[in-house]
Structure 1
Amino acid sequence: MARPRSEDKHAAILDAAVRVVAERGLSATPTSAISKAAGVAEGTLFTYFKTKDALVNALYLDIKREMAGTMMAGFPRHAAIRQQLQHVWDHYVEWGVAQPAKKQVMAQLHTSAYITAESRAVASAPFAEIEQVCKASIASQVLRDYPVPFIWACMSSLAEATIGCMVQDPQAAASYQRAGFEVLWNGIAFNA
């Protein structure tokens, strides 16, 4: 009879995967290194994740859930789009500063061929509300008529630069955070 699976071991494997992938890179990370870092046998890892692909997709979803929980917590649903986007921005860059290994791993996973279309769809679901807000703001000409994925890509790239500056100069982190959002807003909004 198979042993019952432990949530602690599941979490330990995902945490170890973050550490090892951040150190080595996704393509240079064997499952044996992850299981060793998690303090479990490699066979145990495969009890929780049938393949490396399954582990990588679970890691992607775990980090995306954490990001969504952080970014959408307290989302100001009845505020103007500027305040809504600033909320998402502030929470994302603060998460990025606080979670450098997860941010680094997510950058690799975002472009990875390992990530399935199903995982990408599940991971984007928590952000559907802000996507709809952006579309409505484009229709009402508050935001420029750019494709929403392009707006997200601009936001992500600018956030990466902002996070880098915040980490390099913690004394000026709040200034960088505000300036980064202003650059984003002035680039996507009419009459900014």
Structure 2
Amino acid sequence: MARPKSDDKRNALLLAAEQVFAQRGLAAAPTSAISKQAGVAEGTLFTYFRTKDELVNALYRSIKLDLADALMSRFPRQGPVRDRLEYLWNAFVDWGVANPQRLNVLDQLSVADTVSDESKAVGYEPFAEIETLAQTSIKTGVLQAYPVEFVAASMKALAETTMAFMTAYPAEATRYRKVGFEVFWNGVTGNTKS
């Protein structure tokens, strides 16, 4: 009779994969290194994940759901668009500063060919409300009529720049968080102060 699987071992393997991917990169991370980092035999990894690709997809889903919880659990569903986007900005920046390794690995996984369309759909679903907000805000003229994907990518890039400055200059972290959002908001609304 096979032993029941342990959530603790599964979670240890996911954390080990995150650590190894952050250190070595996704392509250069053998399953043996992940097993060693988790403190289990390599065969144990394959008891929980049939392939490295399955492990990659499970990790992608885990990180995306953690990020969704950080952004969406207290997301204000009413109120001015600016306030709602600033809430998302602050939640994302806080999560990224607190979880630099997870952010690094999520960036790698987001462009990995091994992440399935199904995993991408699962990872996207909790954020659908944000896309709807952006589309509605464009239709009503609150935001410029830029492609939503471009706005999202711009927000992410500027937020990651902000995170880097907040980490490098912790005494100025509050200022950089605010300045970063102002630059983003002015860019997507067309507000230019000359």
Shorter-chain TM-score range? over 0.9
> What residue is the counterpart of 2:134 in the other structure?
134
> What residue is the counterpart of 1:95 in the other structure?
95
Write the mapping of 1:14-29 to structure 2, written as runs, cut at 5 A: 14-29=14-29
Deviation at 1:94, TM superposition (A): 0.7
> What residue is the counterpart of 1:42 in the other structure?
42
Q: 1:101-144, CA deviations, whole angstroms, 9 ceiling, x for partnerless residues?
A: 11111111111111111111110000011111111111100011
Give distance in 1, aligned partners of 2:66 and 2:92.
11
Q: Does the 8 A contact of 1:141 with 1:190 survive in 2?
A: no
> What residue is the counterpart of 1:113 in the other structure?
113
Give distance in 1, aligned partners of 2:178 and 2:113.
34
TM-score, length-scaled by structure 2: 0.96
The amino acid across from 1:113 in the alignment is D
List 4+ stretches of structure 1 deviating above 6 A. Answer: none
> What residue is the counterpart of 1:13 in the other structure?
13
Unaligned 5+ segments in structure 1 are none
Deviation at 1:191, TM superposition (A): 4.4
Q: 1:10-57, CA deviations, whole angstroms, 9 ceiling, x for partnerless residues?
A: 110011111111111111100110011111111111111110000001
Task: Give the match's secondary structure for 1:112.
Answer: coil
Give distance in 2, aligned partners of 1:191 and 1:164.
25
Give distance in 2, aligned partners of 1:9 and 1:52.
16
> What residue is the counterpart of 1:188 in the other structure?
188
Q: 1:141-168, CA deviations, whole angstroms, 9 ceiling, x for partnerless residues?
A: 0011111111110001101111110110
Task: Give the match's secondary structure for 2:174.
Answer: helix
Give distance in 2, aligned partners of 1:138 and 1:31.
45
> What residue is the counterpart of 2:33 in the other structure?
33
Give distance in 1, aligned partners of 2:58 and 2:149.
23
Deviation at 1:190, TM superposition (A): 4.4
The amino acid across from 2:73 in the alignment is A
Write the mapping of 1:103-182 to structure 2, written as runs, cut at 5 A: 103-182=103-182
The amino acid across from 2:11 in the alignment is A
Deviation at 1:73, TM superposition (A): 2.0
TM-score, length-scaled by structure 1: 0.97
Unaligned 5+ segments in structure 2 are none
What root-mean-square deviation, in Å, do the aligned CA atoms of Structure 1 and Structure 2 show? 1.0
Write the mapping of 1:77-96 to structure 2, written as runs, cut at 5 A: 77-96=77-96
Give distance in 2, aligned partners of 1:172 and 1:62.
31
> What residue is the counterpart of 1:63 in the other structure?
63
Question: How many residues are matched?
Answer: 192
Q: 1:73-106, CA deviations, whole angstroms, 9 ceiling, x for partnerless residues?
A: 2111011111111111101111111111111111
